[in-house]
Structure 1
């Protein structure tokens, strides 16, 4: 962390200006209230999901362990961007110092990278549960789950440190207005007065690699799952397997689709307005949708919630 602070100080210590979402809106106060409500919903929804998984013994399985990790990532994820944006709107200040910008970028990239790999680990877990049910408790024991989760966090932090270190040591000698509501790499890169073409190629190749590995794991896992489901004699078994996998696939499509747009499409497809809208979707809306997807479509989670409410409020 100290290295990141030292690196961002190389930029000259001047503050950046976050242009944000609200300047282009005719009703900034309304949007501010909506984002605040969504922020509270994301925090409460994910916190409740983590609490249910922790308290209910029936949810002490690898699948729900990974879901709790996803919820934790989403809670930190939205907390990296939304509070700063809302506070700036309330107090009328839209500046962010270079160290704060670097730290925000580092945390954001770490969480994005970690979630990339976590979604792959979740797909692998579903493959083991459906294709190797008898050996599943041994193959996916607690030690293996902790190792996979730790690996996801570690790889995400490597991604965050690498891109933050390079981006924040670039010279910024022109405008310091970031046309975004947080310090995202492409938006900050636009302010550099140096030639960033090689670095942009490096970012593209890294993103391809970071997407290719998880997508390969996810695609292979679900191909084998579909073949296994096809061979099942039980209609109830097929229905349960599809229900379990469909929730995860929905989250994968939402998250990876936004990432592909942001980091892999050519610059000709990007405008500051489009970039902000896509970022709003996957930094603010996705953390709200994930707990809904995994709870409303899951009988075990809904059962645990009803049990908790019954114990708490029914004499």
Structure 2
């Protein structure tokens, strides 16, 4: 099948990386198990890095970013997935070195696809996307550590970002008392929309909890999405036996902290990776997101955008000016 389709193509021109909406052909896609017509995608920080020529994310250009996609199978070479099946794809190599969801078609191995669970639309799947899956992995790690709402407060950093906002919303849905840590002053979105019980600025959080090798415990657990001094402070402020997860490094990839939280309070630090998460775990978490973990106001957490708006929103994500999630809707009805 050969089909022209629209995509956000990133090209390298004289050392600069240019974002342009172009028509490309499905014959430019790799020959894989599944050809999927993408209905929705979403924007993540990794997409913004890819769009700026970050070779740690994408090695070869021209390139179509988009590490998330939800759509309908139009060609299948495997019996596990029939044509017209609705699927979602997050992680693996999609949008990194394999053309991704910012195009109206993707071609992927069948092992990357998850059949869309009952109770979740394609748009809702992309409301979550990689950010939601990462948040779900983080929440799951806390639940495995036997955290319950009665245990105490949970701190979530980067709370207006993609992963952070989803983590706050999921925890709030499950009844947890969430303290949102954010670099943005406003708290209406964090409290009224996401469901946080309280908000603390990033600066206040680090000043209060990172000034000593160990500080007075304030949280039963934490989900850190930014790294650096925030993660160090979160570890130092966690109660005995608590768990802190980490999944991001937008603030810093370095962790400068004392060992006291680990050897005096038995705090556990759990790394979270959504790119290579096992398929069985993915399927379980997507089922949870479709049912018990789905916030009632999920659609209020996102802004739906078109392909023409995508370059501007990628810049906002890259500059740390985004709030919540951006979901891309492709015009694929014709």
Superposition TM-score tier, normalisation by shorter sequence: under 0.3
TM-score by length of 1: 0.24
Q: Which of the two has greater strand per residue? A: 2
Higher-Rg structure is 1
Q: TM-score, normalised by structure 2?
A: 0.23
